[in-house]
Every structure is written in structure tokens, then in C-alpha cells.
Amino acid sequence: MSDANVQVTAAVVPKTQKTRSLWSDAFHDLRKRPTVVISALVILVMLLIGFFPGLFNFQGQNPKACDLALTRGGMSGSHWFGFDEFGCDYYAQAIYGAGPSIQLAIIVVTATLLIGGLFGVLAGFYGGWVDAIFSRAVDVFNSIPFLLGAMLLLTMFRDWKIPGLGTRFQAIIPAAITLIIFSWTGTMRLIRASVIESRGLDYVQAARSLGASDRRIMFRHILPNAMAPVVSLIPLSIAGMITAEASLSFLGLGVRPPEITWGMMISTGAGYFTTGYPRLLLVPSAFLIITILAFVLLGDAIRDALDPKLR
């Protein structure tokens, strides 16, 4: 046999390119967007302000230390935003006013994800009468006007207190429970739709044929693959909860005094906008708008990155 017959030409085998998952591909896409980077930095700063306001209280002013002699005093080097109608440092109030709003929003969103996620998985996986019960419950809650229902509950439980909680949580919990009651339905419907779409796929049938229990199929196979639309919902939900809390506080029904929130400051400052003190309205409004806008832009970007049709 000639050498030409036995010679084997070496085939150049290209290196197998490592495939990216949906999550890693979305992350690579997101980190290249300037709006995402800016929004993430703004959110990080606002979270630090919300949980560690003392780091940003550069003048060391006490937001609750007021002097009527300084009522609506002007801005200065030691008092960047001047004073409010009670002579309290307005910069310190704006910084410490972030805490209740942001903390309440995180508590509400976490609770709605847990409650709505559990109900959505059960309804979507089992269907039938289980789905009917949860779906009718969603219809009942959605039929109640949010503002009317929230005002009713917060008025009924205005003086309700839970023993053992600190002042901050005593002020937050009634509004948080009210928002949870009216907010879990959206998460439930979204998870339910994702589970219904996923439960008939091949990997679910394979897991079932291998003897996996319903619990394992739901929480180890279906739920992780149904989380993509929920992840984009989280920043948008936080923005919505901050807006809802500000609206209720504007009406005097949100977080309880003596805690300070941006909604309370906007409610008070609105009365001085046309009387020569527009900063009393503009300062808390700017903090609120910047925070909400950052969460909304991040949520929209995550939704676009995780949606295969848009990518």
C-alpha cells in the first residue's frame, strides 16, 4: 500500500466554543449598556443612603433637631438645602427620608415574590380546581380599587402595633402589609403563566419518568426556568412600591410619624411651592424621581436582555 493511501491528512478541528446560558448572555449584554451602569450606580448609592444614612450626613445634622427660629431658612455651606417649616435641616431629612421608603419597598417585594411565587407555582403546576381557587382569589383582589382598599385598611389599623418591634418597623409594617395584600396577585399570575408554559416541556417529562416527586419537579426544574420574567419584574416592582408608599404618605396614610419619608416631605413642601420656597417640594421630588427612574431603567433593560424575542 502506497504512502499516499496510508497517509492521513490531519483535520483541523475547531475548538468548541463555550456556549453561554441565557443568564450569562444577558449579563454580558447588560454590562455594555451605559444606562444600566448608571442606573446600577444610582441604585447602589440610594440603597446605601437608605440603610446607612449616617455615611451621607456630611454635616452631622440631626433631622429631628428643629429650631423654629430657623424656619424655612435659606441654604448655606453647613445646611445645603436650608431648613423646613419647623426649622429642621432639610438635607438631613432628605437623606434619612430614604430609609423607610426603600426598606418598605424591599420588604413588600420580597413578600410578594414569596407569596405570589408559591401560589403561582401551585396553580400553574396542578391546574384544575387548584388553579381555579387561586385565579378566583386574584380576581377578587384585583376587583378592589387599590387606593380605596389601602386607605380603608390603613385607617382601620392606624394605631395597630406589633409588640417587640422597633420604632422604624412599627411605622413601616402597617403600610407594608397593606401593599402586600394588594400586590401579590401580579407576581402570582406571571409565575403561573411561566409554569403552565414549562410544565409540558421534555425535561419535565423526563424528570417525571425518572420518578421525581411533584415537589422536586416544581422547585428544582420548573421554577428556576420560570424565573426569567420575574427577575426583570423585581426592579420595576421596587419602583412601584416606592411610588405607592410616597402616594400614601402624601395622603397621610403611609409610614407613620415620627419617621420621615419623601412622600411626607412632598406633601408638606407642596404648600410652599408658590410662596417663595420651591426647594421644599423640589428636593424630595428630585430624590424620589431619580430613585424610581433608576429602578425602572434597570428593570426595562433586564427585561429586554432576558427576552429572546427582543434579543
Amino acid at 92: A
Using 50, 70 and 90 to split pLDDT, how confident is the model at 8? very low
Whether the ω angle into residue 258 lies within 30 degrees of 0, i.e. cis, is yes
Give the confidence band of 279 by pLDDT, cuts at 50, 70, 90.
confident
Residues 177-194, mean pLDDT to the nearest whole number = 87
Amino acid at 307: D
Tell me the pTM.
Answer: 0.82
* Chain-centroid distance, C-alpha 125: 26
What was the pLDDT predicted at 60?
Answer: 73
* pLDDT tens string 96-137: 988 888 999 999 999 999 998 888 888 887 888 888 998 898
Tens digit of each residue's pLDDT (9 = 90 or more) over 244-261: 989 888 888 888 777 888
pLDDT digit string, tens, across residues 223-232: 777 777 788 7
Q: What are 24's three cell numbers?
A: 450569562
Which domains does the chain show, CATH number per domain? 45-198+225-306 (1.10.3720.10)
The answer to whether the beta carbons of residues 107 and 183 sit under 8 Å apart is no
* C-alpha grid cell, residue 125: 403546576
Helix H or strand E encompassing 50? helix 34-51
**pLDDT attached to residue 21:** 61
The residues, any chain, with a CB within 8 Å of residue 186's CB and separated by 6 or more, are 112, 116, 233, 237
pLDDT at 90 over 60: yes
| 25 pLDDT more than 80 | no
Average pLDDT, the chain: 80
Cβ neighbours of 55 (radius 10 Å): 10
